[in-house]
Chain A
Amino acid sequence: MHHFPWLTVVTFTPLAGAVPLALLPKRALNLHRIWGMFVTVLTFGLSLGILAQFRTGTLGFQLVDHAVWVRSLNFNYTLGVDGVSLFLVLLTTFLMPAGILVSWKLEHQVKNYFLAFLALETAMIGSFLAIDLLLFFFFFEALLFPMYLIIGGWGSERRIHAAIKFFLYTMAGSAFLLLGILFLYFLSGSQLGRATFDYRALQHLAIATTTARWLFLAFFVAFAVKTPLVPLHTWLPEAHTEAPTAGSLALAAVVIKVGAYGLIRFNLGLFPEASGYFRTLVLVLAVVGIVYGATVALIQSDLKRLVAYSSVSHMGFVVLGIFAFSLQGLTGGVLTMINHGLSTGGLFLLVGMLYDRLHTRDLNRMGGLAAVIPAYAGVFLFVALSSIGLPGLNGFVGEFLVILGTFIVTKPYAVVAVTGVVLSAIYLLWGYQRAMHGALPVAGGATNGHGNGSSGRLKDLELREYFVIVPIMAAILFIGIYPKPILSRIEPTTYTIVGCVQMTTNKGAPLPASNGPLSAESLRRLLCTSGGP
Chain B
Amino acid sequence: MGPLAQAVAPSHMPIVLRPLLPELILVGTALALMLLDALRPTPDQRPFVLLSLAGVAGAAAATLSLWTWKGPGSVLGGMIAADRFAVYFRLVILAAAALGILLSSYYLDRAGEARGEYYPLLLFATAGMTLITAASDLILIFLALEILSLSLYLLTGFSFRRLASAEASMKYFLLGAFSSAFFLYGIAFAYGATGTTNLAGIATALASRVNGDALALIAVGLLAVGFSFKIAAVPFHMWTPDAYQGAPTCVTAFMSAGTKVAAFGAFLRVFGVAFLPLAHDWRAFMGVLAAISIIVGSVLAIAQTDIKRLLAYSSIAQAGFILVGLSAGTQAGIQSAMFYLAVYAGTVLGAFAVVAIASVRGEEHTALSSYAGLARRRPLLGLALTAFLLSLAGIPPMAGFIAKVSVFSAAVQAGSWPLVLIAVLASVAAAFFYIRVIVLMYMQDPAPEIEGVRIESDPAGWAAVLAPAFLTVVFGILPGLLFGLLRTASVVRF
B484 proximal to A (CB < 8 A)? yes
Number of A-B contacts (CB under 8 A): 93
- Decide: A195 and B439 in contact? CB cutoff 8 A: no
The range of chain A's interface size is 35 or more
Roughly how many angstroms separate A134 CA and B412 CA in the complex, as a whole number? 14
Q: Is the CB of A138 within 8 A of B401?
A: yes
B29 close to chain A: CB less than 8 A: no
| Cα of A175 to Cα of B425 in the assembled complex, Å | 6
Q: Contact partner of A72 among B401, B402, B487, CB < 8 A?
A: B487
| CB atoms of B412 and A185 under 8 A apart | yes
For A182, the chain B residues whose CB sits under 8 A away are: 405, 408-409, 412, 420, 424
Asked whether, in the complex, the Cβ of B480 is within 8 Å of the Cβ of A153, the reply is: no
Assess whether B336 is interfacial by the CB under 8 Å rule.
yes
Do residues A189 and B443 form an inter-chain contact, with CB atoms below 8 A? Answer: no
Q: Shortest beta-carbon distance, B446 to chain A, in Å?
A: 15
Within the complex, which residue of B397, B409, B431, B479 is in contact with A171, where a contact is CB–CB below 8 Å?
B431
A430 within 8 A of B: no
Q: In the complex where A73-B409, A73-B483, A134-B405 touch, is A175 in contact with B390 (Cβ < 8 A)? A: no
The contact string, 1 if C-beta is below 8 Å from chain B, for chain A 74-89, is 0100000000000000
> Which of chain B's residues has its CB closest to A140's CB?
B396
In the complex, which residues 100-151 of chain A have their Cβ closer than 8 Å to any Cβ of chain B? Answer: 112, 134, 137-139, 141-142, 144-145, 148-149
Does A68 belong to the interface (CB within 8 Å)? yes
Q: Are A72 and B421 in contact (CB under 8 A)?
A: no
Nearest CB of chain A from residue B16's CB, rounded to whole Å: 31
In the assembled complex, the Cα of A173 lies from the Cα of B425 at a distance in Å of: 10
Cβ proximity bits B405-433 to A, threshold 8 Å, 1 near / 0 not: 11011101101000011001101100110
Complex interface: chain B residues within 8 A of A278 (CB) = none
Name the prevailing secondary structure of the A interface residues. helix
CA distance A163 to B439 in the complex (A): 9
> Which residue of chain B is the closest to A67 with respect to CB atoms?
B480
* Chain A: minimal CB distance from B422 (Å): 11
User: Is A179 at the interface (CB under 8 A from chain B)?
Assistant: yes
CA distance A71 to B478 in the complex (A): 12
Docked-complex contact A186 and B412, CB < 8 angstroms = yes
User: How far, in Å, is A114 (CB) from chain B's closest CB?
Assistant: 14
Bound Cα distance A175, B439 (Å): 21
Q: A71-B483, A182-B408 are in contact. Are A195 and B395 (CB under 8 A)?
A: no
Q: Does B225 contact A (CB under 8 A)?
A: no
Q: Does B486 contact A (CB under 8 A)?
A: yes
Interface residues in B302-326 (C-beta closer than 8 Å to A): none
Across-interface contacts of B443 in A (CB, < 8 A)? 152-153, 159-160, 163
Q: Which residues of B contact A183 (CB under 8 A)?
A: 412
**Complex contact B439–A164 (CB within 8 A):** yes
A457 CB to closest chain B CB, in angstroms?
36
Instruction: Give the chain A neighbours of B390 by CB distance below 8 A.
Output: 145
Q: Is the CB of A167 within 8 A of B396?
A: no
Q: Contact check: which of A153, A164, A175 meets B428 at CB < 8 Å?
A: A175
Q: Please encode chain B, from 279 to 290, with 1 for each CB lying within 8 Å of some chain A CB and 0 for all others.
A: 000000000000
A442 at interface by CB-CB < 8 Å: no
- In the complex, whether B335 has a CB less than 8 A from a CB of chain A is yes
Q: How far is the CB of A160 from chain B (nearest CB, A)?
A: 5
User: Which of A72, A142, A153, A186 interacts with B395 by CB under 8 Å?
Assistant: A142
Q: If A153-B442, A189-B413 touch, does A178 touch B424 (CB 8 Å cutoff)?
A: yes
B contact residues, total (Cβ < 8 Å): 37
Complex Cα distance, B483 from A71, in Å, reads 8
Are B395 and A141 within 8 A (Cβ)?
Answer: yes
Asked if B379 is an interface residue, CB under 8 A from chain A, the answer is yes
Q: Which residues of B contact A185 (CB under 8 A)?
A: 409, 412-413
For the complex, is B15 an interface residue (Cβ under 8 Å from A)? no
> Is A70 located at the chain interface by the 8 A CB criterion?
yes
Verify B379–A112 contact, CB threshold 8 A.
yes
A153's nearest neighbour on chain B, judged by CB, is: B442
Residue pair B406, A70 in contact (C-beta under 8 Å):
yes
Residues of chain A lying within 8 A (CB to CB) of residue B431 = 167-168, 171
Which partner residue on chain A sits nearest B486 by CB separation?
Answer: A72
A66 to chain B, nearest CB (A): 14
Across the interface, which residues of B come within 8 angstroms of A68, CB to CB? Answer: 480
Q: Does A69 contact B (CB under 8 A)?
A: yes
B444: chain A residues at CB < 8 Å are 160
Separation in Å of the B411 CB from the closest CB of chain A?
9
CB-based nearest A residue for B405: A134
CB atoms of A149 and B409 under 8 A apart:
no
Pairwise interchain contact B435-A167, C-beta atoms closer than 8 A: yes
Within 8 A of B (CB), among A239-262: none
Q: State whether B401 touches A179 (Cβ < 8 A).
A: no
> A160-B443, A167-B435, A172-B428 known; A70 and B396 CB under 8 Å?
no
- How would you classify the secondary structure of chain B's contact residues: helix, strand, loop or mixed? helix
Interface residue B332 (Cβ < 8 Å from any Cβ of A): yes
Task: Specify the chain A residue showing the minimal Cβ separation from B431.
Answer: A171
Q: Are B487 and A71 in contact (CB under 8 A)?
A: yes
Per a CB cutoff under 8 Å, which of A70, A144, A178 touches B480?
Answer: A70
Residue in chain B with minimal CB distance to A185 = B409
Contacts of A175 in B (CB 8 A): 424-425, 427-428
Q: Which residues of A contact B406 (CB under 8 A)?
A: 70, 73, 75
Whether the pair B395, A144 counts as a contact (CB closer than 8 A) is yes
CB <8 Å contact, A138 and B397: yes
Interface residues of B in 442-488 (CB under 8 A from A): 442-444, 479-480, 483-484, 486-487
Contacting residues, chain B, for A179 (C-beta < 8 A): 420-421, 424
List chain B residues, Cβ under 8 A from A144: 395
The answer to whether B421 touches A70, judged by C-beta atoms less than 8 angstroms apart, is: no
- Complex Cα distance, B428 from A71, in Å, reads 28
CA distance A483 to B292 in the complex (A): 57
C-beta contact mask, A41-68 vs B, less than 8 Å → 1, else 0? 0000000000000000000000000001
Contacts A138-B397, A142-B397, A145-B390 given: A171-B480 contact, CB under 8 Å? no
**Residue picked from A153, A160, A175, A195, most chain B C-beta under 10 Å:** A175
Are B395 and A71 interface neighbours, CB within 8 A?
Answer: no
Say which residue of B412, B424, B439, B480 sits within 8 Å of A69 (CB atoms): B480
Cα–Cα distance between A164 and B439 once the two chains are bound (Å)? 8
**Are the C-beta atoms of A73 and B395 separated by less than 8 Å?**
no
Closest A residue by C-beta to B408: A182
Question: A280 → chain B, closest Cβ, in Å?
Answer: 28
- Min CB distance B72 to A, Å, is 26
List the B side residues contacting A167 at CB < 8 Å. Answer: 431, 435
Across the two chains, which residue of chain A brings its CB closest to B382?
A112
Cβ 8 A contact of A70, one of B401, B420, B428, B483: B483
Chain B residue at minimum C-beta to C-beta distance from A144: B395
Instruction: Name the distance in Å between A328's Cβ and chain B's nearest Cβ.
Output: 37
Q: A70-B402, A167-B435 are in contact. Are A186 and B396 (CB under 8 A)?
A: no
Residues from chain B with Cβ under 8 Å of A70 in the complex: 402, 406, 479-480, 483
Contacts of B397 in A (CB 8 A): 138, 142
Let me know if A145 and B395 touch, CB within 8 A: yes
Specify which chain B residues have a CB less than 8 angstroms from the CB of A149 in the assembled complex: 442
- In the complex, the answer to whether A160 meets B439 with C-beta atoms within 8 Å is yes
CB <8 Å contact, B442 and A152:
yes
Residues of B within 8 A of A153 (CB): 442-443
**Could you say which residues of chain A place their CB within 8 Å of the CB of B442?**
149, 152-153
Q: How far is B433's CA from A171's CA once the two chains are assembled, in angstroms?
A: 13
**CB neighbours of B401 from chain A (8 A):** 138, 141
Residues A152 and B487 in contact in the complex (CB < 8 Å), given A72-B335, A185-B409: no
Nearest Cβ on chain A to B474's Cβ, whole angstroms: 13
- A residues with a Cβ closer than 8 A to B are 68-73, 75, 112, 134, 137-139, 141-142, 144-145, 148-149, 152-153, 159-160, 163-164, 167-168, 171-172, 175, 178-179, 182-183, 185-186, 189, 195
The 4 closest A-B CB pairs, nearest first, are A142-B396, A186-B412, A138-B396, A70-B483
Name 6 interchain pairs, CB-CB below 8 A, sorted by A. Answer: A70-B406, A75-B479, A142-B397, A152-B442, A182-B420, A186-B412
Besides A73-B410, A142-B395, A171-B428, 12 other A-B contacts (C-beta < 8 A): A72-B487, A112-B379, A144-B395, A145-B395, A160-B443, A164-B439, A167-B435, A179-B421, A179-B424, A185-B412, A185-B413, A195-B409
